[in-house]
Structure 1
């Protein structure tokens, strides 16, 4: 995978930039703060969006702009891809307004879907991308400073081993879940055994036969009482028929009496209604006279000659024409007033906007000035730190003033002192051996002399020529003891000299470290001085822009006053026209009232005619009612003659006796039926328990089969869990072995002819560096430059492992190094250049390096130059060949 092209608009310090990126080693070169790292951040943001940012989307958009656009073209696994992200900053916070990824096969839209698609393509999310291929500024020691467990998590995640751990945890959860279900099923199985045993002890079939026999006897009793009940019902029905016949006659008599009363009432009411109509006709005549008088008065007010419909319509037409003219003129006046009001409102909004922008720029200028003051304070502290390092360097060098060695020769002096000390130690041992031998000879001779024998030949000492040699041996012992004392004193002096020389060597090393730190401090001071100057310049520029905006707002405030006067004139004309229309509306209302009163006169005359016709109709209805009343009185007399009170009383007695028996038999039948229902319910309950027993036996068989299956499934889940754990451990060990081999390949290339032999990486990702003499070192014991170079070697080895894969190659993103030389001296920079070239020779298609180091620039295949305009504070980017053409 490689980046082909990146195009930016209003992204951080870039107003407009378009850069093509070729294969090979590309160095992005420029001064500190010029925007070099922002180019790589744009590529990273293009791939992963907001998750690639240290802060929020608000930092992406250039200050003062409303939106930023990042476009990235890249090639992956033989396919061409293009991603476009657009961020808007017009609301309270910046948001992603557009995010589109064009792939060889499809188009993906939406920030979340695009991020997921990119993570799927590279098989890594933004965090894994940083841990694998993107060494960000200030994070060069990230892996080496991490704990072994953190380093293990990072590398396992990159090598997809976390997925196996996830599968192992799922298998563990499944095993626990199966065990929980299995325990539940075993409990259910035990409960079913208890239920089945209880039901088998109840002898359900014998109980069922007894209940059925009792039910048969109750049903015979019910049949007998139901026959008696039927006879009583027939007697009651016959009595009811007699009573109903006489009841019908009595009801008809009552109905006739009610109908006669109703007819008499209707006749009286109808006569009263006729009277009401006559009185209402008189009232309407009076109402007609009043309305005609009001019409004459209204006509006099309007100035019309007559109140006929034609005159009214003609005057209304005149009023409508005048109102149309006034309405048209009013509409024009309202539009003018609205237009002036809108212009005044727009100018007010623009004035508020200009004043707000001016205030924002003033506040930003104050903030920048405060930041500049803070940066100046920090600058002073950094200068003090630099001076402190100078003092410490002089202190360490001062240790050589009273010593017999020049600064820089301490290593050789220490070797000479150690050689002299070792020689003296050897001589002391030799003298000690001679002294012991001499003392043994003296002791042996003295023992022989004490026995009266010659120490030389063992003969009696009288007249022996060898007795005098004992004195010589004693003198030899004394000489050797004196020589041993001298040598020991010289050895102690030599040991002191070695300790002093070791102190001087340590001083030389400390001076070297202090010089490295002093160079870093000097660079830090330069960076901070540049920051102070930039912030103060930007603050001054913002204050000037705020003054210009305030002046523009004042000019527009005068224009707003002129427009406001025009709007008030237009509003006064609107009020005059509305008054004229109100006068026309009042006259139209009077004409409308005349028409309404004329219509009311016509309606009243129509009602008079209707009421006359209604009185005639009511008179005809009363004649018909009087005829019907005579017929009903004659029918009532006939019914009174046919009604027999004795027959009615006999039927009532039969009905009472039958109902009394039915009431008693109903209670008895209810009791018997309830008993039968209880027996039937008991039978159903026993039958249900028998069915439950069969169901329990069937459920137990199924549940026992299920328990056997769950036990087998739990064993399979446990085997699967163990398999995933073993596979993860095996793959991790293979990765560790291959990563250790690759790391040593890279390390050996970088550290040729140096003092380090190899690196060891154990199964827990613990790192150990071995010196040439076999002494182990923790990587943190390395110097700052060596530690940085060691970490870069580790990152490159991880990159190689991922790109080559365990079982075949995998397409990888470009190797990106952002300011990797921060902690390196010139010698280490040369080793870094060799490391970059080795990664290119090993097949890394594209390597991007952000640096201002000339040695890396000289070794690059392509150079991109970044410059920032001090006035606009905007960065531009150019390729090296473009710069050469411009120079030619």
Structure 2
């Protein structure tokens, strides 16, 4: 995997940054606090989102901005990928507004899907990423400081061994689940066997044969009684048919009497209705005469003389046309009046608006004039400030008159003195240690000499003791004490000089700040002076515009008066048209009344015709009813002749005998049927038990087979659990051996002394360092620099193991080292450079190092410089060639800063 390009917008200290990254060693260089680490955090955030942050999501957005965008382009496994994340802050809360990952196969959207796919792609989540490839600032000692169990989990997850433990736990859970199910099935098998035994003791088939024999006997008796009952029912039904026919004839006779009486009454009622219809016809004829008299009275007031209905209708149509024309004229006049009134109102509003705008322009001109006066006063004040700043700068520069360096060289001077002071302090510690050891050796030699032993070898001596080695020890102690005094004096002198140099650095920073202030003030003065003439011209333009607006407003008021007069003329025309319409409306009302009389006469005549037709219909109905009445009287007489009382009495006796037999036989049948039903129920119960017995036997066979299968499955899951546990232990041991070998190779390369013989890594990832004399040390007992190198070696060894030792693993991400020199002195930094070169030689495609150390800058194939603007507090990145001339320039710039 290789990072190709990263783009940041409003991300932390970056306003807009776009950086391309190449293969090889890239060093990101800049002063502390310039934003170097934030550049790599942007790449990490692009891959894993909020889980890659130590802070909250809203802290990645630049202060004062509403959203931040991070884009990362990278290659992986031969494909090109692009991921974009945008964070938006609303109501003091940050949310992910956009998250998209574009791959050669598909596009993924949403923070959760993108993070999951990145983890699958790289075969590591965000924690594994920082444990393997990303050594973050201040976390170089993370692995060594972790508890053994934590370190074991970290490395196992990186080596994909955690999945084997997951599989082993799943197999264990499956084994316990199978055992639980198997035990339940065994209990159920025993229960089924017990049920089968109980049912077999009941002799179910013998009981079934006896019950079926008894059932056949009862069904024979039921069949005999049912035949006799059926014959009795037939006799009863025949007798009831005769009786029902007799009752039907009686009912029909009564019905005919009722129908005859009803028809007689209906005929009489219809005759009365015919008389009422004749009276209504006479009333309508009288009404027609009265309507014609009313029409004559209405026409007496009209200029028309005895007109017909068509003339009246034509006259009404003419008047309505004239009324419609008047309505159109009124509408036209009203629209015109409204338009003239609207025009007048609009002109008045426009005049008011122009008057207000004229007043605003006069006020704006006065404000500009006031601002012009204030600007001139401020210019005078700023010119005085320029003079004060120039004087202050000159005063600060006077401090360098007697200084050993000039302005601009204080930083280099302080660095040189600080390096000398560090060397003096280290030399002092070395001398104190050597002096302590020499004094101890002298004391041991004197004790041996007093005991009569050789101070060199410790063996007994016969002659006078050898004192040459003791004298050498004493001389060595004297030399060390003299040199220690000299070194202490030099250290004290350098401490004073460093403090003085620090004061010069402070003065130099003050001069730089004053010069920046001076430049800013001069720029403001120039800008304000350039704008004075323009402001005077704007004031004149505003005053002229105000006069023009006043003139236009007066013209608009005059036009408004003319429009109002035209509107009043149109209103008068509307009033004249309304008077004419009132007269037309009165004539229309009279003519409508006349036309209504024609309609009323026609309605009355139509009603008379309808009533005559109704009288004729009722006469015809009564003729039909009289015919039906004669027919029904004939039917009544015929039915009276058909009555036979003796046949009816015989039918009653037969029905009573049949009913009596049925009443006796029904209880007996019910009793026999109940006995038969009880037997059937009992037979059904026995059959059900026989079926249940067969089902139990089948279930027993199924359960027995299931238990056998579960026994076999339990054994298989137990073997699977043991296999995963053994495989994990075997793979861990193989990885431990490889990791231990690579760790020793890497540590030997970067440490490069003879103090330690080897590093041991056991199966639980416990680390032990062995000295040359065989003494075992915990890594925590190493010095700060040694411990940092040890951890870097461990990180690089893990990276190598993942890159070389896992079959089919995905290409690893770039090796990222963020400020790895924090705990290293200058000697150890050169070892770190060798480590970086070694990882490059081993085939690591891309290594990114964040550092302000010049020695690491010299080892870069590509150089990225990060600078922060002190005014805007925004960082920028520039990509440069790693040539010697450029590196020298960068070093000079870093020293000057």
Per the normalisation by structure 1, the TM-score is 0.67
Q: Is 1:409 aligned to 2:431, yes or no?
A: yes
Q: Is 1:237 aligned to 2:241, yes or no?
A: no
Deviates more, 1:610-619 or 1:146-155: 610-619
Using the alignment, how far apart are the partners of 2:44 and 2:655 within structure 1?
A: 105
Deviates more, 1:627-636 or 1:73-82: 627-636
1:801 Cα deviation after fit: 0.9
Contact kept in structure 1, 2:860 and 2:882, CA below 8 Å? no
Using the alignment, how far apart are the partners of 2:750 and 2:825 within structure 1?
A: 14
Deviations 1:792-827 (A, max 9, x none): 221111111111124476510001122223333333
Deviations 1:612-631 (A, max 9, x none): 62644455445534443443
Secondary structure at 1:699 match in 2? helix
Corresponding residue to 1:418 among 434, 440, 454? 440
Contact kept in structure 1, 2:863 and 2:882, CA below 8 Å? no
Partner of residue 544, structure 2: none
Deviations 1:566-621 (A, max 9, x none): xxx9xxx9xx9xxxx9x99xx99x99x98999999969975984686264445544
1:713 Cα deviation after fit: 0.9
Partner of residue 546, structure 1: none
1:5 Cα deviation after fit: 1.2
Aligned length: 692
Partner of residue 545, structure 2: none
Q: Is 1:613 aligned to 2:610, yes or no?
A: yes
Structure 1 gaps of 5+ residues are: 341-396, 398-404, 433-479, 484-489, 538-568
1:254 Cα deviation after fit: 4.1
Partner of residue 114, structure 1: 114
1:672 Cα deviation after fit: 1.6
Correspondence list, 1:289-300, <5 A: none
Using the alignment, how far apart are the partners of 2:601 and 2:702 within structure 1?
A: 94
Secondary structure at 1:100 match in 2? strand
Contact kept in structure 2, 1:260 and 1:633, CA below 8 Å? yes
Secondary structure at 1:880 match in 2? strand
Secondary structure at 2:452 match in 1? helix
Partner of residue 773, structure 1: 773
Contact kept in structure 2, 1:14 and 1:876, CA below 8 Å? yes
Correspondence list, 1:408-557, <5 A: 408-430=430-452
Using the alignment, how far apart are the partners of 2:769 and 2:281 within structure 1?
A: 125
1:147 Cα deviation after fit: 0.8
Correspondence list, 1:35-114, <5 A: 35-89=35-89, 93-114=93-114
CA distance 1:270–1:794, change in 2 (3 Å): farther
Partner of residue 838, structure 2: 838
Partner of residue 559, structure 1: none
1:29 Cα deviation after fit: 1.7
Using the alignment, how far apart are the partners of 1:868 and 1:273 within structure 2?
A: 117
Partner of residue 821, structure 2: 821
Contact kept in structure 2, 1:804 and 1:810, CA below 8 Å? no
CA distance 1:702–1:408, change in 2 (3 Å): closer
1:225 Cα deviation after fit: 0.3
Partner of residue 704, structure 1: 704
Deviations 1:649-695 (A, max 9, x none): 44334324323332332332222222222212222322232232222
Structure 2 gaps of 5+ residues are: 303-311, 350-420, 422-426, 455-463, 518-559, 569-573, 891-897
Q: Is 1:153 aligned to 2:157, yes or no?
A: no
Contact kept in structure 2, 1:735 and 1:806, CA below 8 Å? no
Partner of residue 377, structure 2: none
Partner of residue 668, structure 1: 668
Contact kept in structure 1, 2:751 and 2:789, CA below 8 Å? no
Using the alignment, how far apart are the partners of 2:169 and 2:604 within structure 1?
A: 96
CA distance 1:691–1:772, change in 2 (3 Å): same
1:155 Cα deviation after fit: 1.0
Contact kept in structure 1, 2:24 and 2:861, CA below 8 Å? yes
Deviations 1:485-508 (A, max 9, x none): xxxxx9xxx9xx9xxx9xx9xxx9
Using the alignment, how far apart are the partners of 2:812 and 2:825 within structure 1?
A: 30
CA distance 1:408–1:801, change in 2 (3 Å): closer
1:137 Cα deviation after fit: 2.5
CA distance 1:690–1:609, change in 2 (3 Å): same
1:73 Cα deviation after fit: 1.6
Contact kept in structure 1, 2:751 and 2:786, CA below 8 Å? no
Using the alignment, how far apart are the partners of 2:597 and 2:214 within structure 1?
A: 91
Using the alignment, how far apart are the partners of 2:684 and 2:748 within structure 1?
A: 92
Using the alignment, how far apart are the partners of 2:57 and 2:98 within structure 1?
A: 13
Using the alignment, how far apart are the partners of 1:323 and 1:713 within structure 2?
A: 99
Using the alignment, how far apart are the partners of 1:28 and 1:319 within structure 2?
A: 89
Deviates more, 1:876-885 or 1:656-665: 876-885
Correspondence list, 1:257-296, <5 A: 257-260=257-260, 263=263
Partner of residue 381, structure 2: none
Using the alignment, how far apart are the partners of 2:882 and 2:325 within structure 1?
A: 84
Contact kept in structure 1, 2:14 and 2:62, CA below 8 Å? yes
1:245 Cα deviation after fit: 1.2
Q: Is 1:142 aligned to 2:142, yes or no?
A: yes
Using the alignment, how far apart are the partners of 2:609 and 2:331 within structure 1?
A: 46
1:280 Cα deviation after fit: 12
CA distance 1:654–1:610, change in 2 (3 Å): farther
Using the alignment, how far apart are the partners of 2:333 and 2:147 within structure 1?
A: 90
Using the alignment, how far apart are the partners of 1:214 and 1:107 within structure 2?
A: 82
1:634 Cα deviation after fit: 4.1
CA distance 1:271–1:44, change in 2 (3 Å): farther
Using the alignment, how far apart are the partners of 2:168 and 2:625 within structure 1?
A: 103
Partner of residue 449, structure 1: none
Secondary structure at 1:860 match in 2? coil
Partner of residue 731, structure 2: 731
Deviations 1:136-187 (A, max 9, x none): 2232222122111111111111111111111111111111111111111111
CA distance 1:280–1:655, change in 2 (3 Å): farther
CA distance 1:220–1:36, change in 2 (3 Å): same
Using the alignment, how far apart are the partners of 1:265 and 1:13 within structure 2?
A: 114
Partner of residue 386, structure 1: none
CA distance 1:809–1:199, change in 2 (3 Å): closer
RMSD: 5.3
Partner of residue 477, structure 1: none
